[in-house]
Chains A and B, each alone.
Chain A
Amino acid sequence: MTIQLHRLDARGLACPMPIVKTAQAIAGLASGEMLEVLATDPGSMKDFVAWSRTTGHELVEQSEEGGVFRFVLRRK
């Protein structure tokens, strides 16, 4: 059984909207489901680490390429 990867494109959105949209999106997932987020806000790398640590939704992957940040989160 494969777990569906949900996607959220937050590119072009300024702080705090990438995190706000992520919080909204992850609330609609079942526990264990994964969410991939793309963002261009330069603060998002630190923001997603802090948000994951505080909320308990695991940050499974994080990377940056050409000014685009990519995060994969697992709903707790």
Chain B
Amino acid sequence: MSEPLAISLFSGTDDRLNAAAVLVAGAAALGRPVHLFLQYWALDAFRADRIDADHGLAPEAGESGAAAVKRLRAEGQAGWAETLRQAKDIGAVDIQACSLSMDLLQITQSDLDPLVDGVEGVTAFWMAAETGQVVFI
């Protein structure tokens, strides 16, 4: 099962980033190459100076959802950035910043966490996706 998995990660809240990180780590453990394309608010969350900050939750989380997420973290569960670091350790995980989103946020790669391997345009993303599955989060 080595079919590549391509993920367009758009959302910048901690719950959605974590859902993406879990999918990436699972695919990496199964030996599937993963290509993670960071767009818009997801890219903003990968800034070196705020990757460990609180990025909030999706609106549907509500107060009880926020409390549940807080409890999991207090129990010592890994955050999404740590999960992605571990995924890179066990598999082929390539994390690329969307160049349009770089323009939007007016940042360069030196502003981003070292988890980000490079910057690319959408054509490179589709080339990397080949004929494999594409997931949008």
Residue positions of A touching B, CB distance < 8 A: 12-17, 19-20, 22-24, 27, 47, 50-51, 54-55
Contact = CB atoms under 8 A, between A and B. Distances in A.
B122 interface: no
B20 to A, nearest CB: 12
B29 interface: yes
Interface in B20-48: 22, 25-26, 28-31
A54 B26 contact: no
B31 A19 contact: no
A16 B23 CA distance: 8
Given A15-B22, A16-B25, A55 B89 contact: no
Interface of B: 1, 22, 25-26, 28-31, 72, 75-78, 83, 86-87, 89-91
B85 to A, nearest CB: 10
Given A14-B77, A27-B90, A54-B1, A20 B29 contact: yes
Nearest to B1: A54
Contact of B31 (A13, A14, A17, A55): A55
A23 B90 contact: yes
Nearest to A14: B77
B75 A16 contact: no
Contact of A20 (B25, B31, B75, B77): B25
B86 A20 contact: yes
Given A16-B22, A50-B30, 16 more contacts: A13-B77, A14-B77, A14-B78, A15-B26, A16-B25, A16-B29, A16-B83, A17-B25, A17-B86, A20-B29, A20-B87, A22-B29, A23-B91, A24-B86, A24-B90, A47-B26
11 contacts: A12-B75, A14-B78, A16-B83, A19-B26, A22-B29, A23-B90, A24-B90, A50-B30, A51-B30, A54-B30, A55-B30
